[in-house]
Amino acid sequence: MRALKIISDLLPIPSYTVILICFFFPFITIKCGTTELVSVTGFDYVVGTDMKEKMKSNEFSKKMQEKLGKDLFDTTQDSSVDEDGNPKKTEGLPVPAETADEKNSRIAMMIMMGIPFLMAIAGLIFSFIRIKRKGLLHIIFSAIGFLVLLIFGIIIKSSSELNAVSSMADGMGGGMISIGMGTAYYMATILFLLIIMFFGMEKYLKNLYKEEQEIREEALDEFLTKD
């Protein structure tokens, strides 16, 4: 039990620290073959960075826009073609104003990703404070962080903006564009799960040890009473 206590005191500090560091690395990556085109960090979501704007500023996106003569992320814009039926070449396409739905979606993502970020900060702070039921707090913090990151991954996989990029790429070159979650996202999610599993196991072993002690004390009392 002493070794378990030492691990429970040390494990959260590096775990939460690595989770926070992961937020500054790509949570989403868009690649063309093996070449990374766009990456969005977890902290980009925390501070409310517009992912569409970040994609637009990428050189590859600009070249695709020039080739197709349309804004890849503006689903309301009709494709312009010349009299021969070829896409018109346009330069300096203006960035369309952010719609109300896009703004609400960005704010929702900012709030959503702020939760696991704050849970990691709170967990790291409480790791240095001596309080009762610390293990239970770590389970709560990590469970919230894990569930939110899991939901985030599901939402991103079904994102209309990312699907639009993938569909456009399918039409251009046979689906060379691949969109996936970054290693940092998986690492942060796994570390939250690791903390949950460890402190859940610790709580179980403590309860088991406590029950065994009570059984031993009852057996000892019965033995002494008979004598």
Q: What is the pLDDT of residues 77-87, one digit of tens each?
A: 444 445 555 54
> Based on the structure, what is the number of domains in the chain?
1
Q: Please answer whether residues 92 and 69 qualify as being in contact, where contact means their C-beta atoms are separated by less than 8 angstroms.
A: no
Q: Output the pLDDT for position 94.
A: 47
- The confidence band for 101, taking pLDDT boundaries of 50, 70 and 90, is confident
The 10 Å Cβ neighbour count of residue 129 is: 8
Token output for 113: 């990703």
Please provide residue 172's backbone torsions phi and psi, each rounded to the nearest 5 degrees: -95, -40
The rounded percent of the chain whose pLDDT value lies above 70 is 66
User: What tens digit of pLDDT does each residue of 25-43 get?
Assistant: 999 887 777 777 778 899 9
Q: Which domain holds residue 109?
A: 2-226
- pLDDT for residue 75: 47
Q: H or E stretch including 109?
A: helix 100-127
Distance between CA atoms of residues 110 and 115, nearest Å: 9
More confident residue, 207 or 14: 14
Please give the single-letter amino acid code of residue 78.
D
Q: What is the tens place of the pLDDT at every residue in 102-125?
A: 778 888 889 999 999 999 999 999
Q: Which two tokens stand for residue 156?
A: 């991103």
Please tell me whether the overall predicted TM-score, pTM, comes out greater than 0.75 for this model. Answer: no
Q: In this structure, are residues 32 and 177 in contact, taking their beta carbons and an 8 Å threshold?
A: yes
